[in-house]
Amino acid sequence: MRYDYIIIGAGSAGCILAARLSEDPNINVLLVEAGGSDGGLMISMPAALPFVYQNAKINWGYQSGPEPHLGGRTIDEKRGKMIGGSSSINAMIYNRGNPLDFDGWAERGLEGWDFAHCLPYFRKMETFSGGADDWRGGDGPMHISRCKAEHKLYDAFLRGGEQAGFSITPDHNGYRQEGLHVAQSFIHEGRRWSTANGYLHPAERRQNLKVLSKTLVNRIVIENGAAVGIEVVEHGEKQIVACDREVILSAGAFNTPQLLMLSGVGDPDELRRHGISLKAEARQVGRNLENHPGVNLQYTTNYEDSLVSELNLFGRAKLGAQWLLTKRGLGATNFFETGAFLKTRDEVPFPNMQFEFLPLTRHVKDGKLVAIPGFQFWMDLSRPESRGSVTLRSANPTDAPSIVFNHLATPSDLKDMVDGVRLARTLISQSAWDKYRGKELSPGVDTQSDQDLERFVRANLGTSYHPSGTCRMGVDDEAVVDGEARVKSVRRMRIVDASIMPRVVTANLSASIMMMAEKLSDRILGKVPLAPSSAAYYRNP
């Protein structure tokens, strides 16, 4: 069992790497995934997202905490454990990030990671339903659709934003991100479109690509400072799979640092506590953990005005039948069809708050998520300052890592969240909402002072499931990987996933991870990088 490249994790990045590297028939590629198949109607149907999230069989089941600034609470973190990884269970929202995110990476010394060099790879990966132009791609493996946003509450959200003084951007993944927008999604012909669908499944017939699912990697085998293979367990027996060129970790911002530490790569003090022999010192492994913390604001509305009126017993039966027969109707939507990127304060150079709007309200009742007549915002802090860490609980590969985000450790993060609640209330106070706005359920009309809003935020804070940064890319000595994603302390090893982001992007992470995988595939194969784009983008006046 020998391969040129071994890729660990068949998620948003791993599927792309496996497909691109195996395009060369002279390269043998092994893709190893801890989870199983991505088949099934619930995974494919966009509207079934809440049921997919609650399915423990396809989720790692991780929790962060206890969180020191949230009263010791724990926070659920949804992570896909299956072919396609989190791209097979996420909310399918397509947001690239702000161009200034990537320019910021380049300003840290990461040559070639500015937006001009990243945009060609965003374009390469996508086929946009709105057509190709200087910013958008027209023939890539990932199909991106513009949401219809036909429900009247979506229109109220957009009109209310305009009345509050904000603009509607025609394509928030094009020239200008800032403003309100009609959303875009990883949905194609009514079905979820994961990287497994876009990249891996079309490549699986290749003789030089082997996909090994339901297989947990115990450790990376490191000899004389180089990665030479992996240790897996098959049929209860440990086996070594040899690698002749590179081992590539694409296991995500939690599992990648965990696997590095289990393999003896990390902070010597941390490894010593668990009896793990040091193979290479890399003290920043597991550090610099970021996420997008957020809260929901919920309102009631009249039954007939909410999407819930179309989701009664008859409506759900219609939804299922229509989707099964035609892949159309409400079954073909994730319901997040409008959103916004806005600033809570003028001094930030680009939006620090993201909003996702739903034309219904969801509550947990008797342990189940149920919809009630209303509407809600999910709002998260896109540029937090607080940092957390991923560490080991034990040297047992089957034990979950210890995850602490340290959310709201900095006063500015808490202030921005409180200001975000006030901004959302400003949007809802506009006349466009007068005939729909009911009772404010959360945080509630009695929650008005800064102190009350701070208590609400601390008690209700969750995340957007966007962990990153735990194996930071950089040119400084402490960075875990260099600008080509090569692990600095171990030869023949790379990391290609959200863990190498030097700073989290101002958006959902999937699109940026896919761009990075496309870009780094070219570097691994020694191809000439795509020429930088000259397309302009919005900057604050």
The DSSP bridge partners found for residue 230 are 220, 241
DSSP state of 87: G
Closest CA to 530 of 248, 123, 128, 199: 123
User: Helix and strand tally (H, E) in the chain?
Assistant: 14, 27
363 noted as active-site residue: no
Specify the pairing of strand 353-358 against strand 237-249: unpaired
DSSP state of 254: H
DSSP state of 62: E
CA pseudo-torsion sign 410, 416, 421, 422: positive
Q: From CA 442, how far away is CA 439, in angstroms rounded?
A: 9
Cα–Cα distances (Å) from 480 to 253, 287, 351, 487, in that order, read 13, 10, 28, 6
C-beta of residue 373 within 8 angstroms of C-beta of residue 305: yes
**How would you label 240-263 residue by residue, b for 16+ Cβ within 10 Å and e otherwise?**
ebebebbbbbbbbbbbbbbbbbbb
**Annotated catalytic residue: which of 117, 181, 188, 466?**
466
C-beta of residue 171 within 8 angstroms of C-beta of residue 145: no
C-beta of residue 531 within 8 angstroms of C-beta of residue 27: no
CB atoms within 10 A of CB 224: 7
Phi, psi values for residue 342, rounded to 5° = -135, 165
- Among all residues, which ones are annotated catalytic? 466
